[in-house]
A and B are shown apart, each in its own frame.
Chain A
């Protein structure tokens, strides 16, 4: 590597120190889809537990076999102890998979009378909201995180974030949904009975009938009736949705939280990581570092890529030493892949020179047991 490139070396991200730091109570793993977020979260939580912390990992959508390895065969929204964890250091590991609908139901049940709750839960609009609205998963992940933090069963919560269109959705979607649920549109959709407030009245005056007739045209009258019942039953909860989202958001800003951005050495994944890092810094949220997964390692020493290709060509031209020629081709290819990963990584680092980075080499085969997670944990440290 030339000296100029060396100047771009980012600080080393020390995940071991992070999870050993007892002041850190929440670790959030975010990033684009397919970069190994869930595996990273699980590996960190396991390592923390085996180093004496009482950890819980909240996963959102784990691959089947990884989930099985942690005993998460059912999605029941309750943290359960993971078997096979070395607890001799005094730690423990619980794991849970988020059930967004059930979490939503619980929020409703906690905040209204049993009678009203029953009404809401049976409402078709609520059922759509709690199972298929965009942002519900993120909102409920945040909600669950807030609940876990409020209990004193763990001293470290590791969160995997939902597979969204954009990593930023984890931060933005709860607020968006909360604002919608507390906002005037839903009141308008729900009919005029409960409407209040001057602004609203003015708007109402200006074009209410035009607007409702437009909405009826677009969405159909049946939906509006469902929303209306929903809004009326929800009465006591208005104002609460956005507040809850805001509370968890504030939790994420506290110094006890650490964000870990996970990426693979691909331009897309790193661009996403870059957006996310910018956002965290704009909102003064605590970023711990970047985990760059699946990096092709460059072997120091040995033969350079061009040298290897030239050597292979020489042997191929002579028609001899086929095996060595093939090995040289292979070697050159690995070096090129490593160089490319390094270039892509450097682009990120030149935009964010202050962000600590750790590399996890590309492994042969997938991780789907605790042994594999331990290995990732070692590589991360």
Chain B
């Protein structure tokens, strides 16, 4: 059994540019493997999921976007605050004419673009609803993966009660926020952090782990993305870093491979090796910071040609092999 048994809501965040949407997609696929059904939802109106799964832009309804290994299904949804607001007003208030008047007055605009926290309650509220939706006595989805805002904004996004309390201290919005908060603080939720082995993303990851712990929100795994394959042995890395790789050995190798072995080529390969070794050393340092966070760590290899559905499949399998599912 995987690391996240019993978790129904997987929140995926990370510093901008670390590949959190890719990881959210791969995680959804891994969780769906073996005949399950998983919903992956985005909240930033970027259509990142449509790009990732190579499907037409997603609307406010759930579409099957991929199969998963062993017969599972991945559905995707782009949660839009405006749609969620209308749905919400209809569901809870049956406002009819007053609802339309509110829209005309700019209330929907206000609630979805300006009011603190209301937008987030609407967005997380939709995910919350999906975790509870049933047909008969079965859940419609075995798990929900939420492609959340980046680390800089995720805490405010998840901490909906605090955000709305400045606006709605009582009333149904407050009650809704309370139910969402209860889910987010329970063991049914895990917030996974995506990082690269670079200084700033790792620092942000460490900061947000501390913030989540302080807020009593369960921290999931750290997913180290875009890991470079270790081409060189430790001894070679050390030599490469000091610029001490043996030129003659390299030149001999090039000749054996039937390649040009000029000083230029040897020099280029040596410089590249030095640069690589320097990066590997920095990555080691960052990796130890990640390990010190005391959370399960998964590594995903860099996909040098970019992400397509095949690459996503491989990433999902890598997550499974490392214990995510």
Residues of A within 8 A of B (CB): 32-35, 61, 63-64, 124, 127-128, 132-135, 163, 165-166, 173, 176-177, 179-180, 183-185, 188, 203, 206-207, 210-211, 213-215, 217-220, 222-223, 264, 266-269, 271-272, 299, 301-303, 307-308, 310-312, 314-315, 318, 320-321, 323-331, 333-334, 336-337, 340, 344, 364-366, 368
Contacts and interface: CB of A to CB of B under 8 A. Distances in A.
Contacts of B99: 214
Contacts of B232: 323, 326-327, 330
Interface string B76-108: 000000000000000001010111011011110
Interface in B151-180: 152-153, 156, 163, 166-174
Given A218-B172, A220-B168, A324-B257, A211 B101 contact: yes
- Which of the four size classes fits the interface of chain B? 35 or more
B253 A34 contact: no
Contacts of A33: 15-17, 150, 152
A365 B202 CA distance: 12
A179 B246 CA distance: 68
Nearest to B249: A323
A331 B269 contact: yes
The 4 closest A-B pairs by CB, nearest first: A324-B253, A34-B16, A33-B16, A34-B17
A218 B245 contact: no
A188 B313 CA distance: 53
Contact of B105 (A188, A325, A326, A329): A188
B304 A163 contact: no
Contact of A266 (B17, B106, B116): B17
Nearest to B120: A134
The secondary structure that dominates the A interface is helix
A299 B231 contact: no
A180 B106 CA distance: 8
Nearest to A333: B304
Contacts of B252: 321, 324
A324 B105 contact: no
Contacts of A302: 264-265, 268-269
Nearest to A134: B114
B321 interface: no
Nearest to B253: A324
Contact of B106 (A165, A183, A324): A183
A128 B249 contact: no
Nearest to B245: A323
Contacts of B149: 165
Contacts of B105: 184-185, 188, 203, 211
B116 A128 contact: yes
Interface in B253-295: 253-254, 256-260, 264-265, 268-270, 272-273, 275-276, 278-279, 282
Contact of A215 (B107, B172, B200, B233): B107
Nearest to B96: A210
Contacts of A132: 116-117, 156, 163, 166
B18 interface: yes
B256 A303 contact: no
Contacts of A326: 231-233, 236
Contacts of A311: 254, 257-259
A267 B51 contact: yes
A173 B114 CA distance: 8
Of the candidates B114, B171, B306, the one having the most CB atoms from chain A within 10 angstroms of its own CB is: B114
